[in-house]
Structure 1
Amino acid sequence: MQARHFTAVDLGATSGRVILATIGENGIGMEEVHRFADPIVETQGHFYWNFAAIYQSVLEGLAAIAARGIRPEAIGIDSWGVDFVLFGRDGGMLRLPYCYRDPHTAHAPERFFERMPREDLYKRTGIQIMPFNSVFQLDTLRRNGCSALEAAEKILFIPDALARLLTGEWVAEYTIASTAQLLDARTRDWDRDILSLLGLTPAHFGRMVQPGERIGTLSEEVQRQTGLGAVPVVAVAGHDTASAVAAVPAAEDEAFAYLSSGTWSLMGIEAPAPIIIEESLRLNFTNEGGIGGTVRVLKNICGMWLLERCRTEWPAMSHPELIAAAEAAEPLRSLVNPDAPCFANPRSMTEAIAGYCRATGQPAPESVGQYVRCIFESLALRYRQVAGMLRTLSPRGIDRLYVIGGGSRNDFLNRMTACALGIPVETGSAESTALGNVLVQAQWAGLVDSTAAMRRMVRASLGTTRRFEPTNKAHWQRAYERYLGVYREI
């Protein structure tokens, strides 16, 4: 098989990458050509994404590929969900987009529920209620008299906005749009009643495209700036978690759950249709779009965000050093609810963790190792809590958990997760988001014909995976009971 080249633009909550993928006889090879920060600008009391800098970094990555004399067959873009860019009538960007961690949406859901009850919003969209969802961001901007929103001709989610700058096309990719809480989960189209409450119509968004559809071709301007030719830009699963789940190395018909582990931990199952019932509402589970007509039934868990923020307060230490310090620390000294509101965006994460511990009658961590162990043990036990919720929703049960993303490299946490859940944990690719991005491009190019074929290609490329079996179940049962005893929404 002749080598085929594809490019994945993969934007995470802390950094972005341009990746060159090569598909050949030996599977899929992935090379990071360009890495860059996804910069957040703090000004006038708000947090924004420096979208122009992100776009410039993407162009630099594409130019680096062109400099090698390689012309990829396609380019795909994925990113985090919910955030969006406002464009004016002349096609120009009206302002920097808000970052989902900006505090302006504090208590926004409650304000929106005055006009549409929580239960009605959930039954329509199937989306987990979180203050930063696009529906609440837009409602907050409208309430605050945002001049950019008033002038907006188009509202594009982050990957769609990049596609616009690269191709000139206006699109709304389905999986990224599904995170906004603006779609009817069953029809998979815009909910006009919700849009009306926001003073919007479907015309404010681009044409809806599905993963695997061609968006357009690099504009002449971008061709000149990068040195690439008229390369197609293809709609992949634009939401990074949807791309990551596409690359889960599960066998066909396997009853599994996935954990996309990074800044956020996304734990869920694949379903053929939305699961929107009283129990999913009570447990606040989300139904987001997936590839191949699937729905990702999942819950967002605040993952390595806690550790990433703590690290900014400590002397520089590598991940192996942090894990070694955690392994040497006393087990189960302190536990927290990783999803407590106090951890959303505190000025000091270490103080937020210490304050939670003091408020729940526990000793506060005093060393780096104690902090890291507290975070990892708390995450493993939170995963057990969410897995228990998933079992009440899943029609098939859960026999195995696949950990994908950067967290797949964390053997210490994955071992604890297997023990906490009581089922085997198997790791997939640390590059699962970019890998899923490339797989959808490969399907567009005719190299694979189904999700099952994608996952066979993933397994062939990975070779052997790491597997962790549960042990010491009695110890972890006691740990879970203690975790529930200190679980708070502080």
Structure 2
Amino acid sequence: MLECSLAVDIGASSGKMLVGYIKNGKLRLQEVHRFENRLIKRDKHFCWDLQSLFSEIVTGIHASRDQGFVPQSIGIDTWAVDFVLLGENDELLTDAVSYRDPRTDGMMEEVFQQISKERLYLETGIQFQKFNTIYQLYYLKKNHPEILDKAKSFLMIPDYLNYLLTGNKTNEYTNATSTQLVNAFTKKWDRELLDQLGINKEMFQEILPPKSTLGNLKPELSREFGFDMKVLLPATHDTGSAVVSVPESNDTIYISSGTWSLIGVENNFPICVTKALDYNFTNEGGIDYRFRFLKNIMGLWMIQEVKRNYHNRYTFADFAEMADQVDDFHSTVNVDDDRFLKPKNMIEEIQKYCRETNQTVPETSGEVAKCVFDSLSVSYQTAIDQIEEVYEKEFKKINVIGGGSQNEMLNQLIADTTQKEVIAGPFEATAIGNLASQLISLGEIENLNEARQIVKNSFEMKVFRSKNKTEGLK
């Protein structure tokens, strides 16, 4: 039996569990379990099925043992902003309502009537998105105040899953920052904001940073698995873990490419300046209290939905190939338009947008795919221009990590559009970063710099350069 650490990486459409260990100075990975994650409808809201997700985690722990591994530790990362509230007896008072649910429509504007947009940004440094936790909580305050009055514990999705493993409650730092309720400078819950909004501040837990030890498994789980292990906190925000996998460089912008595209740079301090506010950049917390200065852009969600609209007749590789074969089609959409957040039919919404903006309407599957990929590359270029303006410097390279790093057509398109060198990989960036944090906590890796060097030496990365010297899509 091989000792290892176990990473649980859950995204908006699927989850996976990978074991990792150091051998001959390299990080070795093996996937032991994969599962689907989908929204369910409860009481007219789109919700996550947390009991199903926890059941899959239990199945994955068993699978790791069945495949010859003995995990010494486990760490969980998920998407951001969503949460549950627990009552006095730790009963669930709320479902885990998804950020894609329309309940927050109009809530951001109502919050601005009580707290100015400028103050919110200068104190928290967080990008304005209508589904941020602050607006979800304000919805409850306005429509179900009795729930907030009863709430004794606020737990974000990975916090709750960790609670089910250990019985211990905490709010992990990187995910907590996404709520738009953590002061960027004190790194604690902003109690003045909570008081001003009338939100029960006593339900929030102590904020612990990545690499903290939450505890061991509940005794009944240890007996079920036949072994015990530590539950450690990686950066529980999946992008926070992914960025751990990006080799440090002063001239590299990263794109964490998955359901969402997170494009930005790592910083040692928050950039809460007017220009960053104007461009709606965020300063999310990272490992070692670093900051991820980035913009959250609609990502491969659009092509995922297009795939579903075509009844999964085509693979993602098919869409890339079909788009690459389309020459004379150049319509693009604003990928950050709220209409693409959860439309009834993504293809029809794309077509409608093109029709409304007097562009050629995509009809074939290849044209639809090309429209999505071209639109993403244009949004990346815009964000890069804004980053370079704020930093007053040019960045030479782009490191694409995550699932999108496997899309060679899109990587080449990014290189052609931006006229920058694109480095693709590592593919499993989030799980790798999750594991790296655990291994640092366990003392098997000394620090973040060593972790990044190990990642660089362990995984092959592909380089894309512009095939033309002309200016790309604008």
Where on the TM-score scale, by shorter chain, does this alignment land: which range? over 0.9
Residues 148 and 199, structure 2, Cα contact 8 Å, conserved in 1 = no
Q: Offset of 1:85 from its aligned partner? A: 1.2
2:211 and 2:200 map into 1 onto residues whose CA distance is 26
Pairs within 5 Å for 1:348-363: 348-363=345-360
1:288 corresponds in structure 2 to 284
Residues 138 and 198, structure 1, Cα contact 8 Å, conserved in 2 = no
1:230 equivalent in alignment to 2:228: yes
1:247 corresponds in structure 2 to 245
Residues 154-210 of structure 1, C-alpha deviations (whole Å, 9 max, x = no match)? 010111111111001111110010100010001111101111134345531222111
Residues 192 and 201, structure 1, Cα contact 8 Å, conserved in 2 = no
Which residue identity does 1:385 align to in structure 2? T
1:161 corresponds in structure 2 to 160
Residues 257 and 398, structure 1, Cα contact 8 Å, conserved in 2 = yes
2:328 and 2:97 map into 1 onto residues whose CA distance is 39
Secondary structure in 2 matching 1:300: strand
1:267 and 1:426 map into 2 onto residues whose CA distance is 14
Q: Offset of 1:31 from its aligned partner? A: 1.7
Q: Offset of 1:68 from its aligned partner? A: 3.8
2:123 and 2:25 map into 1 onto residues whose CA distance is 45
2:327 corresponds in structure 1 to 330
Which residue identity does 2:291 align to in structure 1? V
What 5-or-longer segments of structure 2 have no aligned partner? none
2:363 and 2:249 map into 1 onto residues whose CA distance is 47
Residues 299-329 of structure 1, C-alpha deviations (whole Å, 9 max, x = no match)? 0000111111111111411222221111111
Residues 268 and 297, structure 1, Cα contact 8 Å, conserved in 2 = yes
1:488 corresponds in structure 2 to none
1:332 and 1:421 map into 2 onto residues whose CA distance is 19
1:484 corresponds in structure 2 to none
Which residue identity does 1:88 align to in structure 2? G
Which residue identity does 1:438 align to in structure 2? L
Number of residue-to-residue matches in the alignment: 473
1:198 and 1:71 map into 2 onto residues whose CA distance is 47
1:274 and 1:26 map into 2 onto residues whose CA distance is 34
Residues 244 and 435, structure 1, Cα contact 8 Å, conserved in 2 = yes
Identity of aligned residues (%): 36
1:275 corresponds in structure 2 to 271
Pairs within 5 Å for 1:175-254: 175-225=174-224, 227-248=225-246, 250=247, 252-254=248-250
Q: TM-score, normalised by structure 2?
A: 0.97
Which residue identity does 1:451 align to in structure 2? L
1:487 corresponds in structure 2 to none
2:103 and 2:202 map into 1 onto residues whose CA distance is 26
Residues 350-373 of structure 1, C-alpha deviations (whole Å, 9 max, x = no match)? 011001000111111111000001
Residues 32 and 67, structure 2, Cα contact 8 Å, conserved in 1 = no
1:158 and 1:83 map into 2 onto residues whose CA distance is 6
1:425 corresponds in structure 2 to 422
Residues 264 and 302, structure 1, Cα contact 8 Å, conserved in 2 = yes
Which residue identity does 1:18 align to in structure 2? M
1:253 and 1:319 map into 2 onto residues whose CA distance is 31
Secondary structure in 2 matching 1:287: strand
1:11 equivalent in alignment to 2:7: no
Structure 1 residues 340, 56: CA separation in 2 closer, same or farther (over 3 Å shift)? same
Q: Offset of 1:26 from its aligned partner? A: 5.5
Which residue identity does 2:397 align to in structure 1? R
2:207 and 2:42 map into 1 onto residues whose CA distance is 33
2:358 and 2:57 map into 1 onto residues whose CA distance is 48
1:70 and 1:340 map into 2 onto residues whose CA distance is 45
2:257 corresponds in structure 1 to 261
Which residue identity does 1:303 align to in structure 2? G
Residues 169 and 215, structure 1, Cα contact 8 Å, conserved in 2 = yes
1:306 equivalent in alignment to 2:305: no
Pairs within 5 Å for 1:431-446: 431-446=428-443
Structure 1 residues 395, 170: CA separation in 2 closer, same or farther (over 3 Å shift)? farther
Secondary structure in 2 matching 1:338: coil
1:468 equivalent in alignment to 2:467: no
2:293 and 2:25 map into 1 onto residues whose CA distance is 33
Q: Offset of 1:396 from its aligned partner? A: 5.3
Higher mean Cα deviation, 282-291 or 3-12?
Answer: 3-12
Q: TM-score, normalised by structure 1?
A: 0.93
Secondary structure in 2 matching 1:73: strand
2:74 and 2:389 map into 1 onto residues whose CA distance is 39
Secondary structure in 2 matching 1:20: strand
What 5-or-longer segments of structure 1 have no aligned partner? 481-490
Residues 173 and 235, structure 1, Cα contact 8 Å, conserved in 2 = yes
Q: Offset of 1:255 from its aligned partner? A: 1.9
Q: Offset of 1:342 from its aligned partner? A: 1.2
Structure 1 residues 325, 275: CA separation in 2 closer, same or farther (over 3 Å shift)? same
Residues 32 and 64, structure 2, Cα contact 8 Å, conserved in 1 = yes
Residues 268-311 of structure 1, C-alpha deviations (whole Å, 9 max, x = no match)? 00111000101011111000001122100000000111111111
Residues 246 and 451, structure 1, Cα contact 8 Å, conserved in 2 = yes
Pairs within 5 Å for 1:451-462: 451-462=448-459
Which residue identity does 2:206 align to in structure 1? R
What RMSD in Å do the two structures reach over aligned CA positions? 1.6
1:217 and 1:82 map into 2 onto residues whose CA distance is 26
1:43 and 1:219 map into 2 onto residues whose CA distance is 29
Structure 1 residues 395, 161: CA separation in 2 closer, same or farther (over 3 Å shift)? farther
1:297 corresponds in structure 2 to 293
Residues 39 and 54, structure 1, Cα contact 8 Å, conserved in 2 = no
1:365 equivalent in alignment to 2:362: yes
Residues 218 and 229, structure 1, Cα contact 8 Å, conserved in 2 = no
